[in-house]
Amino acid sequence: MTLPKAARVALYPLSRVYDCGVSLRKSLYAKGWLKRKRLNATVVSVGNLTVGGTGKTPMVLWLAQKFAAEGKNVAILSRGYRGSHGTSDEVELLKHRLGEGVKFGVGADRYLSGRRLETTQNVDVFILDDGFQHLQLCRDLDIVMLDGSRKLRDEWLLPAGSLREPISACRRADILIVSRKFERPTIEARDAQSFSIFYAQTRLLGFCQLGAHQRERYLSEIGAGPFFAFCGIGNPAGFFADLTRWHVPVAGRRPFRDHHRYSTRDAQRLENEARSLGATALVTTEKDAQNLFLRAFRMPIWVAVIDLVFTAQSELEATIDRILGSRRGTAA
């Protein structure tokens, strides 16, 4: 969410302090005063520059499926943000989509989680979820996700804006994935030689009814609608825009805070608003499905199942393999 300009200006001094802290931390790692740690297996990091959704989870899913299809033993390291008991909504989403073939290490110390897995499992590739700023852990490939619908040059650093690091931090990346846009971002003008750029869009695979163990259904199979859309993800506007792009008839929309856990009261409010607008059912994201208390809802809830589609997928795969082959060889 973009803050009002007055609030951004008031918070700007804190952004300068934050910038100094980020720069100092990177410098300490670069000079070796803070030690980086390396796991035995290849590490592929997926991260971003901003708070909010850029498509990290679909990218992690795509990478895990790619490496697993190549016969690699894959493990995902996640902080488990706003989760509990060693899991989170994003982890549960990935487990649901990937099955038992992929292992998970969840915790703030990703190195420790990785070492625990390595002592008990045969791991060829670790995928470090939301890892661009996790400098403690060495990685062999850095993939940074950018939301092409947002103009990063207009963004400010935290807490006045949404940037975790200055735009120049992209120079540390090996690959940029620009989502929701199929044209060159404004970010690459000075630094295009330091990374490869690819473009992606979210693709709708179908809809699953929450609580029903059925195959994914096409839009034409779930009724004429209209539907009431809601979500608690990092970029709710992106999900709502995707519904429009997928030609899903939407009567109304309701965003919630990222990782929101829905209460019975939330369910009542959503259904009352949906009915008042003439909606016949609710529609939400796979991540939100992990935070819903099904028995609190009376209206049907359809969950949009997605993946990423790239404009040059074979080139992206070749670039990933080339970089990993030149650095470690484990995942090549």
How confident is the model at residue 149, as a pLDDT? 78
How confident is the model at residue 74, as a pLDDT? 98
State the DSSP code for 137.
B
The pLDDT tens digits of the residues spanning 123-159 come to 999 999 999 999 999 999 999 999 887 778 788 999 9
Closest CA to 135 of 31, 5, 19: 31
pLDDT tens, the chain, 332 aa long: 578 889 898 999 999 999 999 999 999 999 999 999 999 999 999 999 998 788 999 999 999 999 999 999 999 999 987 766 778 899 999 999 999 999 999 999 999 999 999 999 999 999 999 999 999 999 999 999 998 877 787 889 999 999 999 999 998 999 999 987 655 555 544 554 567 999 999 999 999 999 888 789 999 999 999 999 999 998 999 999 999 999 999 999 999 999 999 999 999 999 999 999 999 999 999 999 999 987 889 999 999 999 999 999 999 999 999 999 998 644 43
Radius of gyration, alpha carbons of the chain: 20
Q: Give me the helices (H) in the chain, please.
A: 5-30, 56-69, 89-98, 110-120, 236-245, 264-276, 286-289, 313-327
Rounded distance between C-alpha atoms, residue 2 and residue 213, angstroms: 39
Rounded distance between C-alpha atoms, residue 188 and residue 168, angstroms: 10
How confident is the model at residue 109, as a pLDDT? 94
Closest CA to 138 of 111, 119, 117: 111
The pLDDT tens digits of the residues spanning 68-116 come to 999 999 999 999 877 667 788 999 999 999 999 999 999 999 999 999 9
Conformation bin of residue 179: beta by default, left when phi > 0, alpha when psi is -120 to 50: beta
How confident is the model at residue 118, as a pLDDT? 96
How confident is the model at residue 331, as a pLDDT? 43
Which domains does the chain show, CATH number per domain?
5-201+310-327 (3.40.50.300), 202-308 (no CATH)
How confident is the model at residue 54, as a pLDDT? 87
Find the Cα–Cα–Cα–Cα dihedral 267, 272, 274, 279, rounded to 10°: 120
How confident is the model at residue 283, as a pLDDT? 98
Residues 6+ positions from 95 with CB-CB distance below 8 Å: 102, 104
How confident is the model at residue 1, as a pLDDT? 57
What is this structure's pTM?
0.92
